[in-house]
Amino acid sequence: MPRYDFRCRSCGATFELRRPMAQANDPAVCPQGHEDTVKLLSTVAVTGAAAASRPTPAAGGGGGGGCCGGGCCG
Ligand SMILES: [Zn+2]
The alpha carbon of 19 and the centre of ligand 1 are apart by a number of angstroms equal to 19
The alpha carbon of 36 and the centre of ligand 1 are apart by a number of angstroms equal to 7
The alpha carbon of 4 and the centre of ligand 1 are apart by a number of angstroms equal to 16
Give pTM, 2 decimals. 0.54
Closest CA to 6 of 32, 33, 38: 38
Question: Given this model, what pLDDT does residue 26 score?
Answer: 87
Taking 70 as the pLDDT cut, the residues of the chain under it are 42-74
The alpha carbon of 22 and the centre of ligand 1 are apart by a number of angstroms equal to 24
CA distance 64 to 71: 14
The alpha carbon of 14 and the centre of ligand 1 are apart by a number of angstroms equal to 8
